[in-house]
Amino acid sequence: MYTFVKILSSAAIIGIVTEIARRFPTYGGIIAALPLVSILSIIWLTVQSEPSEHIQRFTVGVMVGLPATMCMLFVIYVAMKSSLHLVFAIGLGILSWAVFLGIQKAIANVFHLSM
């Protein structure tokens, strides 16, 4: 039952944000930048009685992924501004995200940090 409620509520939020973005692109972008997925995930993990340590590790994972996500969005923006096709722009963005995470992990390994 939780799975159905999670899917339904998540789909509703995506639909609402998309409609706002269609009418007001800047506000839609600001709302989309809110950590809605992270907040929903924390709520669902709590509702499902996950231990606090598990939720803390999840939030660290989100923070680790944030710089790579910002890089991906920047690459998509530049690619679209350069009139590249949407699919190609998204592909470049995902590739930049993966490369950034790889570099981030390599740097963490050099300094013996766990990610």
For residue 50, the Cα-to-chain-centroid distance in whole angstroms is 21
**DSSP string of 71-105?**
HHHHHHHHHHHTT--HHHHHHHHHHHHHHHHHHHH
pLDDT tens across 20-63, in order? Answer: 999 999 988 888 887 888 888 898 899 889 999 999 999 988 88
CB 11 within 8 A of CB 36: no
DSSP state of 34: S
pTM above 0.85, yes or no: no
Contact 102, 68 (CB under 8 A): no
89-107 confidence digits (pLDDT tens): 999 999 999 999 999 999 9
Length of the chain: 115
